[in-house]
Structure 1
Amino acid sequence: MLACAVVAALPAYAQDVATPGGRADTATNGAASESAGGASPKLLDRITVEGVATPATSLDSPNSTGSRLGLSARETPAMVEVLSQDQIQARGLRGSVEALNAAPGVLAGQLPSSPGMTSMRGFSGGAIALLVDGVRQTAAPLITRDFDSWSFERIEVLKGPASVLYGEGALAGAINLVPKRPNFDGSAFSALAGWGSFGSQRYALDANLPVGDDLALRAVVSRRSGDGYVDGTASDATSATVAARWKPSDTLDIDIALDHFEDDYDTAYWGTPLIPAAIARDPSGLVRTGNGLVLDKAIADRNYNVGNGVQDGRSDWLRTRVAWQLGDDLRFSNEFSYYDAHRRWLNSETYTYNRRSGLLDRGTTRIEHDHQFWNERATLFSDATVGGRRNRASVGVEFTDGDFAVMRRFGTTTAVDPFAPARGQVSFDDSAINFPGAGNRVDFDSNTRVASLFLEDALNLTPRWLLLAGLRYDRIELERSIRDFNTGSVSRFERRYEPLSWRLGTVFDLTPKTQLFAQYSEAVAPVGSLPLLSLANSRFELTHGRAVDVGIKSSFWQDRVDLSLGGYWIEQDDIVTRDPANANVSIQGGRQSSRGIELSASAALTRALQVDASVAVLDARFDELREAGGVNRAGNVPPNVPERVANLFASYRFEGVPITLGGGARHVGAFYTNNANSIRVAAHTVWDASVAYRLPFGEIALFGRNLTDAFYADWSGGATDQIVIGAPRSVELTFKVNL
């Protein structure tokens, strides 16, 4: 799947930080340079405080996720979090999973079926859109991977419904991986090498080369490998991107990038099964169940996957962007991308304790993906004066065509002893003997075509009052065929959806550096991933979501502190539930909701001391949900949704000595693994620290992770009674060169 440093097409003012009319300039005179009101005061004017560091992430930096109008985080009526490459490197965040876990209010898991699955604001998986440089990737849970963080300039997280910007499936927010891009600032080269616990190794290169005044080239390459902290779970991942940027004139900017990504997890770790407390040799209190099952520390490093297991993926991505300045107030942007990927899972993924035999019953799975799609988006941007007030607007069309072919096979293999598993090898040959029974040997083919029209406008009603509105219409056409080779049955169906998403928000300047914001938005999401929609679910319409966001953003103490405080409410209607009058019939009529408060702050307390902190508190519930047998789940918490997440990171840079100390903690509250809330995973806190020695040409750093060797879980695995154990204490030494 993609990748890592693909260059796509953001509006030039979001990438170069150009002026509203597109003229190259600095951020202080750029598109986001004015206050919410438009003329003055200028919210993005930088104030330099001599002898005092400024926060690493500024509310005044333009972001490409919360809007297509080049608005800053301060001008966006929603919570937008940004992790810069400098922050990522300082904290030693190696992959996108670790980076997202450092983002306020986000939980990301290393789930083998979808490495990088996320949970946010009470929702997870397909309710969160994945973007690469602002371009939405279809069916995010299918293509997400643990990308190397070296590839990205920054990672942006937009909280709340984002269908108005990115279409269906963005109910809880959007994550935007913004890759490094060629620039004209001069030749630059950086490299990184790292070695650590569990045989981990990491190597990365980044080279930027301007060729004359109108052409710049960039290559970004990285490779990670390791033996894993569970038996037999070696893995490696490689990404490589080559990109070019051509500016034949002051009004024309062209980008093209080709990215390759691959990973191979060998016999992947699918989680540790729960076993009866009576046989556990070192039972932990990490998991609480109602049926006497526990998580046994004695088997935490066991791998129950078959010895010839396979989990790998290969992808190539071509992206292009053309930005054309048509006039002082008008800009046109065209983005095109093509994606081609192949993924395989040949494993034993589920392990269930059998009380009769005292063994773990194991299933087998063979799934293969052949996935292609292309995306075309054309946008016209305007930054003009209407009635004496600044008005920023965009209108555009977007087309996506995706083909998705899937082989799905399910069977069983030999049971194993929980304490001494003889993993063995199995045949994954495609036969009814290996995968017997209806529904266990099926091929799917899907074609999803989407045509969209979107509008967005930011009008300065007064010099201190900004009104933001957005509207998106999608025409979605889905064609699916399902062939069951064991029964000989073939089914085909077509569906068409025409959702309308919209938002209305406002930002008001209490002072030039303090803004109140509010927003109402409506979004849509399918009852399941569209490319994998079952025949039974094809009769259902899209679910609908609505949300309210309110909050305040402020910079104070001579701009040494950036603070964002927000509250929200999200509700999703029409989720699939059972008919109260007939528990054997599924209908739309369920509902789930979430409400919460989020606080994030970045403070330069002294010239040497920088502190970043965040806390997210939420109340997520199924308001109406009945499952098989008519069991009522109303009031229960959705799975893999912690209701408390907090982060703290501090760094101290010594004067006169080239040493920087860093350290912090991440707290994740308790969560459940199923809708029944019968399995509860305890909260955990993980402490990390680092020391870095600065060199004239780079840096040597030592990172210590999970210093207290906490025994914790960060996600549920292949089944609700399998828990993915987090990594134990580890260290890593890195050497970085900048030339």
Structure 2
Amino acid sequence: MSLSSCASLRASRLSVAVAAALSFPFLAHAADSIVLPDGSRATQLDTVEVKGRKAGLEQAAGTGTRLSLSVMETPASVTVIDRDTLEARGVRTTQEALAGIPGLTVASPPGNGNAVTYRGFSGSQITQLFNGIDVQYASIAARPVDAWQYERVEAIGGPSSFLYGAGAVGGTLNYVTRLARLDRDEAAVQAAWGSFHDGTLAMGANLRIGGDDARQAIRLDASARDGESWVDGQAREASTVAASWLVQLAPTLRHTLAVESQREEDHRPYWGTPVRQPASGRLSVLPETVGRNYNVADGHYGQDVLWARSLLEWTPGERDTVRNTVYHYDALRDYRNVESYRLAPGNDGVIRSGALLQRHDQQLYGNRLEWIHEGMLFGLPTQWATGLDASYNRQTRFPLSLSATVDTVPLAAVTPGQFLDVPGASLVHTPDRTNRLHTQAAYMESLTRLTPSLSLLTGLRRDRIVLDVANHRAVTATNPARFERTYTPTTGRAALNWALTPQASVYAQYSTAADPPAGILSTANFATLRDFDLTTGRQGEIGTKLQSRDGRSFATLAAYRIVRRNVAITDPANPGQTLPVGRQSARGVEASFGWRPSEAITVEGNLAWVDATLDDFFENVGGSPVSRAGNRPANTPSRVGNVWVDYAFGPRWSAGIDLRGVSSRYANAANTLSTAGYATWGAHLDFAWNDSTDLSVRGRNLGDRTHVVYALGSTMVYLGDPRSWEVVLRKRF
């Protein structure tokens, strides 16, 4: 059976499931009449559930601190995108959720996972967490997954190693999964069908065992997505399951067991579109290559991820909370593709190269113990958190890399060959090296209220990281059989917050970070690390936060400067070697706002400007060192903005539009190649069938703008999605 036939069959099966889900509101509506004991009929009214929700800046700060502080009280740039916001914006994946963070851009080419740029930094300089846990390989491990299982997405801008360990010079992102709870029962199902035969079916339920007096609860969330793509031949199957079991062992002791599974299969994944040659100035693509897929017919990417967590919480008194988290992460990722394409000199064919068979086998084990206390310090109200974190991360890679030219195919190529057609290709996984990371950390964070309106927030973390690398291939001077490195970074934060009124505050903070000089420790080799220490990052930030008394409007404004030192660069005296003496910096301004002038209208948005610079940087160009000092890092826009407007024009009808703008970006460190900026817009129309059932029609990129979301060097770009439509039905029980 052909790939297209398989995709059609999968799409047909999912469409049947979606159609079944679409029947829920009508079945529920038909059951509104009930029979009374005397045989008469009466109308059963819909159950109205009233839920309290903290508005705007009153939400818990989450990732921004380990203490019990709101966003308003935290002297840092903190963004929290809650479940209601994810649903209102039609967020399908974790990647789409990140648009809510000021200044952040993200793309997901298969080889980069979530390629995030934030505050002028990117890649491993941005930490991406899962429920506060760092898998130390986020640039790949944080591939977009369906957002259904997540309660919220959080972010803190700038250096934040003092909270979660090495990395995070540009910022930290955190994806928080829904967990079982004892305060209510709830259930929901969602079905979606859209352009390119893209269908999703999801369900979730929280059930208390024992009613209102329950001491146990279980939660299950599951979603399945199956669809083709706007790119020729690409198809994707993905499923996620998250289950948790909460037991109130005693009035002061509770335990939650949480398990998550994520599976993804991408058939013939899209790696990018070749740019017009000769490449110079503003990069562009040929219209006839848009939507073409030059990967081999049996191209493949797949991942299987399993999470397990044991969460124990003890509250021995009103002022103390002790938490212990035992966690395990297991991931297996497989690639089989031809990944690099460039147009022939006459722009009449596509030269393919970069055949790669790759496997990542990764396991992470860890335990985190922390104690949070509220008390007095020298007569001043104080709360502090202290903890110990230990983890063991093991990853083995199995690459078969064939960089030579494979062939030249026509621009209109449909299924250009098989992977085994490539000379030297085989389906044998041979290990390259195994990286073992042993990490122990001690940390402390405290908030002291110096006066009723002035507070001091401090944090300090000491890590001990031992990297042990075993080489499974030929031993050379630059690739020894085994080597070990030990790092002991100390990072911290000090910040003052002045509450001018309960609805207005200003703050100033200084924070530091540390991260590897080149690459990621969980995949690093001897050549990239040598005897170098970790790089250091420092940030100064000032800002203000404002919110109306009724919570209907809010605004934040922050200005910052970040400097990263000891970056690995090409040795000017020896282009074959590197030196840890480079420097990169960024300064910028970020703003976010929300305004609700009436019950019917809501306006939210964010704007950001950044001036990112390679202050001291040499690049190896054809064996010669070339200074890139003063240039902007690749794929770093100077301006990013988002706006969401929603209008309820009837008791059951509402509509909205969303706009996103990204300025031009350079495609190389020389700043000789660039990609055009772009603006896209979307719209949605919502109808409430009843109080528990909603139907939405949503359009994305309605201008059908062909736009570049990520530059892949001087020969390829990764294009964003064209215009698409989606119908979504959501039913709550």
TM-score (norm 1): 0.87
Q: 1:182 to 1:720 in 2, by over 3 A?
A: farther
Distance 1:500 1:459 in 2: 22
Q: Which structure 2 residues correspond to residues 88-487 of structure 1 after superposition, within 5 A?
A: 88-212=86-210, 213-276=214-277, 289-290=279-280, 294-355=284-345, 358-411=349-402, 412=404, 413-420=406-413, 423-427=416-420, 433-434=424-425, 443-484=432-473
Distance 2:415 2:266 in 1: 20
Q: 1:674 to 1:461 in 2, by over 3 A?
A: same
Select 1:531's aligned residue among 515, 522, 527.
Answer: 522
What's 1:698 paired with? 693
Deviation at 1:54, TM superposition (A): 11
Select 2:599's aligned residue among 604, 607, 612.
Answer: 607
Please list the CA deviations of residues 648-673 of structure 1 after superposition, one character each: whole Å capped at 9, or x if unmatched: 00111234x30011111011111122
Deviation at 1:537, TM superposition (A): 2.0
What's 2:16 paired with? none
Please list the CA deviations of residues 476-520 of structure 1 after superposition, one character each: whole Å capped at 9, or x if unmatched: 000112233699975321100000001101100111211001110
Q: 1:651 to 1:359 in 2, by over 3 A?
A: closer
Amino acid in structure 2 at the alignment position of 1:674: N
Amino acid in structure 1 at the alignment position of 2:383: R
Distance 2:385 2:541 in 1: 23
Distance 2:676 2:549 in 1: 38
Residue 56 of structure 2 contacts residue 551 of structure 2 at CA under 8 Å; is this kept in 1? no
Distance 1:720 1:262 in 2: 33
- Decide which moves more: 230-239 or 583-592: 583-592
Select 1:497's aligned residue among 487, 492, 495.
Answer: 487
Q: 1:299 to 1:395 in 2, by over 3 A?
A: same
Residue 688 of structure 2 contacts residue 695 of structure 2 at CA under 8 Å; is this kept in 1? yes
- Decide which moves more: 392-401 or 707-716: 707-716
Q: Secondary structure at the match of 1:522?
A: strand
Distance 2:111 2:574 in 1: 34
TM-score (norm 2): 0.88
Select 2:679's aligned residue among 655, 667, 685.
Answer: 685
What's 1:563 paired with? 555
1:735 pairs with 2:729: yes
Distance 2:129 2:677 in 1: 30
Distance 1:361 1:333 in 2: 53
What's 2:7 paired with? none
Residue 712 of structure 1 contacts residue 725 of structure 1 at CA under 8 Å; is this kept in 2? yes
Q: Secondary structure at the match of 1:89?
A: helix
Distance 2:378 2:592 in 1: 37
Distance 1:388 1:442 in 2: 60
Distance 1:292 1:176 in 2: 35
What's 1:671 paired with? 665
Amino acid in structure 1 at the alignment position of 2:693: G
Distance 1:486 1:311 in 2: 30
Amino acid in structure 1 at the alignment position of 2:72: R
Q: 1:476 to 1:418 in 2, by over 3 A?
A: same
What's 2:503 paired with? 513
Deviation at 1:105, TM superposition (A): 1.5
Distance 1:466 1:291 in 2: 50
Residue 238 of structure 1 contacts residue 262 of structure 1 at CA under 8 Å; is this kept in 2? yes
Select 1:575's aligned residue among 567, 588, 600.
Answer: 567
Please list the CA deviations of residues 527-566 of structure 1 after superposition, one character each: whole Å capped at 9, or x if unmatched: 2100111211222211110001110001126432111000
Distance 1:135 1:203 in 2: 28
Distance 1:442 1:669 in 2: 42
Deviation at 1:630, TM superposition (A): 1.6
Residue 349 of structure 2 contacts residue 408 of structure 2 at CA under 8 Å; is this kept in 1? no
Distance 1:358 1:580 in 2: 38
Amino acid in structure 1 at the alignment position of 2:457: L
Deviation at 1:157, TM superposition (A): 1.0
Q: 1:359 to 1:172 in 2, by over 3 A?
A: closer
What's 1:650 paired with? 645
More contact order relative to length (CA 8 Å, sep ≥ 6): 1
Please list the CA deviations of residues 8-34 of structure 1 after superposition, one character each: whole Å capped at 9, or x if unmatched: xxxxxxxxxxxxxxxxxxxxxxxxxxx
Q: Secondary structure at the match of 2:419?
A: coil
Deviation at 1:394, TM superposition (A): 0.9
Q: 1:89 to 1:323 in 2, by over 3 A?
A: same
Distance 1:595 1:428 in 2: 49
Q: 1:595 to 1:435 in 2, by over 3 A?
A: farther
Q: Secondary structure at the match of 1:115?
A: coil
Amino acid in structure 1 at the alignment position of 2:659: A
Distance 1:266 1:247 in 2: 45
What's 1:722 paired with? 716
Identity over aligned residues, as a percent? 31
Q: Secondary structure at the match of 1:536?
A: helix
What's 1:708 paired with? 703
| Aligned-residue RMSD, C-alpha | 2.2
Please list the CA deviations of residues 244-290 of structure 1 after superposition, one character each: whole Å capped at 9, or x if unmatched: 1111222112111111101011110000011327xxxxxxxxxxx42
Distance 2:349 2:421 in 1: 26
Distance 1:643 1:203 in 2: 38
What's 2:37 paired with? none
Distance 1:455 1:372 in 2: 27
Residue 472 of structure 2 contacts residue 481 of structure 2 at CA under 8 Å; is this kept in 1? yes
Q: Secondary structure at the match of 1:636?
A: coil
Structure 2 unaligned regions, length at least 5:
1-50
Structure 1 unaligned regions, length at least 5:
1-52, 278-288
Q: 1:292 to 1:665 in 2, by over 3 A?
A: closer
Q: 1:499 to 1:293 in 2, by over 3 A?
A: closer
Residue 670 of structure 1 contacts residue 683 of structure 1 at CA under 8 Å; is this kept in 2? yes
Deviation at 1:597, TM superposition (A): 0.2
Residue 61 of structure 2 contacts residue 74 of structure 2 at CA under 8 Å; is this kept in 1? no
Distance 2:291 2:94 in 1: 24
Q: 1:251 to 1:689 in 2, by over 3 A?
A: same
Residue 435 of structure 1 contacts residue 441 of structure 1 at CA under 8 Å; is this kept in 2? no
Amino acid in structure 1 at the alignment position of 2:326: F
Distance 2:292 2:587 in 1: 39
